[in-house]
Chain A
């Protein structure tokens, strides 16, 4: 089980727990504002853009070229930007905080 904190654009903090799926799926299930996940997680829509807390960013597997290329064209991109459909939930990310980008 991993604890995950989403912080929306409006500053609302949402704490959730899960053991499988992706950060996008969990957010959509709980209607986290700003994470739409339109394409269901195949890296085609960039509607699940988050900024990962720096201390956790390095722990994640590096983004693929396809994900990086998607992010290149999105708004509010920082060095900690990720599409959260590409972040699987596991014990390894327990305690992670992500800020919704858009």
Chain B
């Protein structure tokens, strides 16, 4: 099987039934698989809440490893609207030319570094360092801080034997607590200080609220970005002609990144807690039960996407939901898109071909469905231009 083939795990169930159950730590979830159901439910924040117990809308649930509410992610309108407005401008900074230049320097340096090395393990030696160093720009802190995050390894919450590892999660939470205290003691122009100075409902944001924004920023953009980058490398390894096409045609990069993110859908799904009973594709969603919006399945829905299982680099109409949909759409999407663009630009400029030496797939287990989301290991050799 080819490394860059990511099959549509949900096709049969999506077409036959539209929903499927998943038993998650005795708090079952019904996964919604059809594009229209996913968008409609994501839009309906009144009927499908994000403001449940912290960690409950995440699948697998994090209620046993986290008490801090992620903000604005685990809040409903109207409170959500005010929180989101507080952080929106900060998270648009990736559009500044200066930010883009710094990001380009980071990606260039990382690719140059591994080009010298011969064979590398792409996740730990390329994707994770790029993701971590890029995150220092989003937080507006010194680049050297990335070394700490790189040392944590690829998964913030997961360990070898468990999907949810409280000890590992506490490393991140304790780190953020300490950084917030540092910013209180010596204010600077980092995201920590900006948040500590922000006003919500006429009062300063609390430490717990600031921590909630930071946990979201760290956790939401780690595995997702790492998988995106690694999967893109696997695709380019097996489609060397795409490297040339993208290098020759900068405009193609814009549609290509949207297509990669649709096809790879680095975040499989996100949950909601039902507030108002509703029937969705035959499933009666009862109050206080969970449903999930399966972005990965929606993004392969044949009723919306022509040839959904093919990567079409110049796909013109691509209403994918890989960054979610509606009020809660990904806050980090501007940063992610800028990184995706810069990465493709720099990578296709410097690399001619890629040899895949070894690959171990990362397969998620959603009960009846097994979905490839990325790799546990991808050993490659990059050949310079």
Contacts and interface: CB of A to CB of B under 8 A. Distances in A.
Interface in A31-49: 36, 38-45
B3 interface: no
B258 A42 contact: yes
Given A40-B254, A40-B258, A66 B333 contact: no
Contacts of A38: 333-334, 337
B158 interface: no
Contacts of B318: 39, 42-44
Contacts of B334: 38
B304 A42 contact: no
Contacts of A93: none
Contacts of A64: 317
B304 A66 contact: yes
Interface string B250-262: 0000110110000
B240 interface: no
Contacts of B320: 44
B317 A43 contact: yes
A39 B259 CA distance: 10
Contacts of A66: 304, 317, 319
A36 B89 CA distance: 12
B251 to A, nearest CB: 9
B258 to A, nearest CB: 5
A63 B39 CA distance: 19
A42 B337 contact: no
Contacts of A44: 258, 318-321
B254 A41 contact: yes
A43 B258 CA distance: 10
Interface in B225-277: 254-255, 257-258
Contacts of B43: 73
Contacts of A40: 254-255, 257-258, 337
A73 B326 contact: yes
A70 interface: yes
B113 interface: no
Interface of B: 39-40, 43, 92, 254-255, 257-258, 304, 315-321, 323, 325-326, 329, 333-334, 337
Q: 5 smallest A-B Cβ distances: which pairs?
A: A42-B318, A40-B254, A73-B43, A44-B319, A42-B258
21 contacts: A38-B333, A38-B337, A39-B258, A40-B337, A41-B254, A42-B255, A42-B316, A42-B317, A42-B318, A43-B318, A44-B258, A44-B318, A44-B319, A44-B320, A45-B323, A45-B329, A64-B317, A66-B317, A70-B319, A73-B39, A73-B326
